[in-house]
Amino acid sequence: MKARHIAVIARILMGLIFLVMGLNGFLNFIPQPSTPVPAKALAFLGALYSTGYMVGAASGIEVVAGVMLVANRWVPLALALIAPIIVNIMLLHLFLAPALIAPALVVFLLEIYLAWTYRAAFRPMLAMHTAPD
């Protein structure tokens, strides 16, 4: 299989994951995991829900980025939008729920792979010195 095909599969898989999980943030159609979630992780998630906007904002970004990835439109922008959410997912699992880290690790690795694949699009953003046009 060619590297191009792997990138397409990774992009669509990540897009579907975030589209479904983002929609789940609004509609709650995925049942709760049978594995008990640690108390500290529940407290953190409860705090996010109690703000009244954080889960909705994150879910909205997930849906938008998921659609962008699946549709192959503005993929670098989608990767940049979803990166802070992925970092928070990884940190939550690393520090508060390490037993449940496998899905977070998959998404993290997909993000790293896709960011590397689309690295040319990120070069201007990562320039140390630049000036406005």
What pLDDT score does 71 carry?
98
Average pLDDT over the chain, rounded to an integer: 92
What pLDDT score does 57 carry?
94
Q: What is the pTM of this model?
A: 0.89
Task: Give which of 119, 80, 98 is closest to 38, Cα–Cα.
Answer: 98
Please determine, for residue 82, whether its predicted confidence score (pLDDT) is greater than 90: yes
Q: State how far the alpha carbon of 31 is from the alpha carbons of 27, 28, 35, 81, in Å.
A: 11, 8, 12, 27
What pLDDT score does 4 carry?
87
What pLDDT score does 24 carry?
94
CA atoms within 13 A on the CB side of 62: 23
Average pLDDT, integer, range 93-106: 92
Tokens read off for 95: 């520090």
pLDDT in tens, 4-59: 899 999 999 999 999 999 999 999 899 987 878 888 988 998 898 898 888 899 99
